[in-house]
Chains A and B, each alone.
Chain A
Amino acid sequence: MSDAEATGQPGEAPGLVREVVKSALRVENVDTPKNRVLAVAHTVWLHLHPSKVPRHAVRFSFTWGAGGIAFYLFLITVVTGVALMFVYRPTPEHAWLDMKRLDFDVPFGMVNRNMHRWAAHAMVIVVWVHLLRVFLTGSYKAPRQFNWVVGVGLLTLTMLLSFTGYLLPWDQLSMWAVTVGTNMAAAAPVVGHEGPFAAPGVTAANDARALLLGGPTVGGNALLRFYILHCVALPLALGLGCILHFWRVRRDGGISGPAAPKGGA
């Protein structure tokens, strides 16, 4: 409370910097236990966190930091990916040349493209690391069973994002890696034309692979489909999934841990 409010008199206004900081953070920039709690609880970005956490939960040795780093890498791919979208056009005439432009013409194009690709590769590995740590600490056990299932969904989306992105440079590496991958859909039972029990009327032109590629082979339609999945549908799904995942971490009682000694949290 300022002096002016206490006395009802219009006294001197608080310092300018102090007023700006307080209006932005909703908390006085004074280090007290109460303000530490409020700083977290009153900030939309931070209130994902509880305002207090068990000691073991902040240790790298327990979480390996993997869930958080996976999310951070996702954010990096979003930022660098949006930058790439300013240059890249998803058609067979343009796609590969746009990559060349990025590599040689566009200021910071190469390093931005590199960041996007390496962050995506790293994200795949880090999500695996996170999966391993959650398994090894038995953190999927009640009441966290369902959040593990949400996690498996996130893992699947991460791999699909990587896979759809692989096609976009439209070079030999992309085209053939995606050809190998999507051929599997043609071999699916019932819905693939090469699979066992292919339903009557299912051909290379209308089977599961054709749905994925917009035709029997990897061509312009496939590029457009993968582009939309990669830049719109899958990131949205992953973002929504993360919201659910983080919400459940809180609701399931925060980061798991062994039963605390009596009196603890």
Chain B
Amino acid sequence: MEPLWRILSQPDNIPIALMVPLFAGLLGFWWRTARRNDALLAQGGEAAVRSAMDGAVPEGTPDPRVHTWPYLLRIELIAALVVTVVLLVWSIVIDAPLEQLADAARTPNPSKAPWYFLGLQELLVYFDPWIAGVLLPVLIIFGLSVIPYVDVNPAGSGFHAWRQRRFAVAVFLFGFVGLWLGLILVGTFCRGPGWNWFWPWEAWDRARAVPMATRNWADVFGISSSSGASAFGALTVLGWYGLGLVAWWRLRHRPLVARLGTSRFAVVAFLLLTMLSVPLKMALRLGLSVKYVWTTPWFNV
């Protein structure tokens, strides 16, 4: 347990430790509220949800809204005070780290990025830097930005809900909690010298060399010529994204898919398949020691 404690008690890692109960609590709260709202919707529509959210409105109130002063401003004041006190205590109790002077000649092992980028750094195990460090971050920002334009389902706007928007919520939580937060935890707690896997309770053995023989996707099928491997890899990747076409063909008559239209569907399919390819590639690496799915003279995927 001692290594776990060492990682946890690094001042910069405290936010990560706090994040786990924080997000667990928020998601638990969301789930309860969403289920309550689902039930209310079934009984009395959005008006019922609104009444429940508004709480008791005094009898005969002509305008159900409240004055910003004092009802909102006093909450803001209290929130600001609480945040200030928490931060002050945190700052008095725990000092920001200052290690030795920067030295370009001495590389620490492991060299870790700031904690909020550790998910991306973890991806470097499975992808070349141009994918993990450039392509995927760009796609994450792009993918987040297009959410409002590709989620054409008008239901569930302005309140916690589940039943009306299961697909959207499930996809988002998979990406945000499963991939983004999950990989940050892995990068923080399970990676040691050489970026090798160490369980949090394992001591960091600096001498441990992990000779992990890797092969490429084509090798799994005994394709040895480099052009053959290249073509096979290209086909695999094309086939993967081709699943989007198959899905379009199978689902095109569904009302929601018809409403999406081809361009929105293409964007969703591309982003979704790309997101799913991340855990898939991880599984190929961990299960079959596959390093690249597609090798070319110019780049490898």
Contacts and interface: CB of A to CB of B under 8 A. Distances in A.
Interface of A: 33, 36-37, 39-40, 46, 49-62, 64-65, 68-69, 72-73, 76, 92, 96, 99-100, 103, 110-111, 113-115, 117-119, 121-122, 124-125, 129, 131-133, 135-142, 144-146, 148-149, 152, 155-156, 159, 162-163, 166, 169-177, 179-181, 183-189, 192, 194-197, 217-219, 256-265
7 contacts: A52-B65, A55-B65, A114-B96, A141-B154, A141-B158, A152-B141, A188-B134
Interface string B71-103: 111011001100110011011101111111111
A65 B79 contact: yes
A258 B104 contact: no
Contact of A138 (B75, B79, B107, B159): B159
Contacts of B156: 138, 141
B106 interface: yes
Contacts of B134: 184-185, 187-189, 192, 195
A184 B65 contact: no
B258 interface: no
A197 B297 CA distance: 10
Interface in B108-138: 108, 111-114, 116-117, 120-121, 128-130, 132-135, 137
B8 to A, nearest CB: 15
A265 B64 contact: yes
A9 B28 CA distance: 67
Q: Chain B: interface secondary structure?
A: helix
A10 to B, nearest CB: 34
Interface centre among A65, A115, A136, A152 (most CB of B within 10 A): A136
A46 B98 contact: no
B148 A149 contact: yes
B102 to A, nearest CB: 4
Contact of A171 (B29, B71, B98): B98
B71 A51 contact: no
Contact of A174 (B54, B55, B102, B137): B102
Interface in B190-246: none
B71 to A, nearest CB: 6
A183 B176 CA distance: 25
B50 A259 contact: yes
Nearest to B84: A76
A111 B19 contact: no
A212 B30 CA distance: 41
B149 interface: yes
Nearest to A136: B30
Nearest to A116: B96
Contacts of B87: 76, 115, 118-119, 122
Contact of B50 (A173, A180, A257): A257
B67 A59 contact: no
B293 to A, nearest CB: 15
A120 B267 CA distance: 34
B22 A179 contact: no
Contact of A256 (B64, B83, B104, B158): B158
Given A125-B19, A175-B103, A36 B70 contact: yes
Interface centre among B102, B132, B156, B157 (most CB of A within 10 A): B102
A64 B130 contact: no
Interface in B150-187: 151, 154-161, 165, 169, 172, 176
Contact of B98 (A100, A186, A256): A100
Contacts of B66: 52-55, 58
Given A68-B79, A103-B95, 6 more contacts: A49-B72, A136-B34, A139-B157, A171-B97, A172-B101, A187-B129
Contact of A166 (B114, B129, B172): B114
Contact of A39 (B69, B91, B99): B69
A132 to B, nearest CB: 7
B123 to A, nearest CB: 11
A117 B96 contact: yes
Contacts of A219: 104
Nearest to A52: B65
Given A110-B95, A138-B157, A159 B116 contact: yes
Contacts of A156: 141
Given A188-B134, A195-B134, A61 B298 contact: no
Contact of B68 (A51, A166, A176): A51
A192 B158 contact: no
A209 B141 CA distance: 20
